[in-house]
Amino acid sequence: MIYLDYNATTPIDKSVADAMLPYIQGNYGNPSSSHDYGIAAQKAVESAREQVASLLNANPKEIVFTSGGSESNNMVIKGVAYSFRERGNHIITSQIEHPAVLNPCKFLEKNGYEVTYLPVDGFGTVNPEDLAKAITSRTILVTIMHANNETGTIQPISAISRICRKKGVLFHTDAAQTVGKIPTRIDDLGVDFLSVAGHKLYAPKGVGALYIRDGIQIEPLIHGAGHENGRRAGTENVIFNVGLGRACEIASDWITDNTIREHRDKFYKALQSLFGNRIRLNGHPKNRLPNTLYISFLGFETSEVMKALGRVAVSTSSACHSGSTSLSPVLRAMGISDSELAATIRFSLGRYTTDNELEIVLKNLSTLVEKSIDHTI
């Protein structure tokens, strides 16, 4: 099977697996223990913390290890809501956020909080001016993703952070899709919180991190003993933390490598040549992730595109329930109507994608063009 679903998850990098191995087969001490086994484990965790911090250009003490992006997002949104309730009860997000942001916001709405869901334009971009108008004296948090998981559109995070800083509002970005793909330096983004998902950058599933700007205290999501400097209880996951650290170390080299972008652009040009005006690129044509193509095949149904693709792992925007096809909420927020519903496929490339694989995919898709010609004749 050809894998073109790297935005959904990534395989574990061999170097990451090698780094984890010593802590699977041995070095099993509890990092909180004072004996040599515990000290060795604690050193491994802190070394991993430094590796994550280095990729973000943050201070290691600002990094909290979590179980993944969803926990990191919940920890921020609920933590700020509980800790700053006396200051206000208003949160601002966007209509195209991941469920790991939208659902905590909906939960808080049921508990007395007010949430504003900002619209996006036809490219899936939040307008900073809309944000500025939405902020009130009761706003305590803004949470806008760095890049959308479907379209790959990158949000104007720096511009948003400047508005938040001027208004005295805390700002969080879900960077699950961007860490390891594009620069995510804290000093450039200007955020107060940033979420990392390990399995999106060739680390294991079940590990992530949260950047919390030094000096900000929020209520922990998980209470217990004083792990992670009192910010997240639970015995440290040494094995996976080491894996995430190594993955972040490797990612620093890939951010400056244009191989994946070149593969994607070559693939897109070939699709344009093959289908002409029968495909539509969803999302921003330039300001998007270097690995993502979100393509609508106009006049085709999802089932026939997937059949043509064969053994190619991709993601579809539409969910089929009882034989009916629904429009992606992200596309709907971008102003695409049900009348424009088409087979929409997300191709997301990765480190192991090859030209040969993409040529096979193009050959498979060419059968769609041949069938449409035959049908016309």
* pLDDT score at 274: 96
Enter the pTM of the model.
0.94
H helical segments located in 29-84:
36-56, 69-83
Contact 186, 57 (CB under 8 A): yes
- Domains recognised in the chain with CATH numbers: 2-7+257-376 (3.90.1150.10), 14-254 (3.40.640.10)
Strands (E), the chain: 2-3, 63-66, 90-94, 114-118, 139-143, 170-174, 193-197, 208-212, 279-281, 292-297, 312-313, 315-316, 320-321, 324-325, 343-348
Please, which residues have CB within 8 angstroms of residue 375's CB and are 6 or more apart in sequence? none
* pLDDT score at 323: 45
| CA-to-CA dists, residue 187 to 139, 190, 350, angstroms | 23, 5, 27
10-residue averages of pLDDT along the chain (377 residues): 97 98 91 90 96 98 97 98 96 97 98 98 98 98 98 98 98 98 97 98 98 96 86 93 98 92 97 95 96 95 94 76 66 89 94 97 92 55
Q: Which of 74, 56, 68 is nearest to 197 (CA)?
A: 68
Token couple for 291: 């690995």
Q: How far is CA 222 from the centre of its chain?
A: 22
* pLDDT score at 372: 65
Can you list the pairs that 316-319 forms with residues at least 24 positions away whose Cβ atoms lie under 8 Å? 316/343, 316/344, 316/345, 316/346, 317/150, 317/344, 317/345, 317/346, 318/343, 318/344
**H/E element, 357:** helix 355-376
| CA-to-CA dists, residue 221 to 142, 154, 207, angstroms | 18, 28, 16
Alpha carbon distance, N-terminus to C-terminus of the chain:
33
* pLDDT score at 321: 37
| Residues involved in catalysis | 320
Question: Count of residues for the chain?
Answer: 377
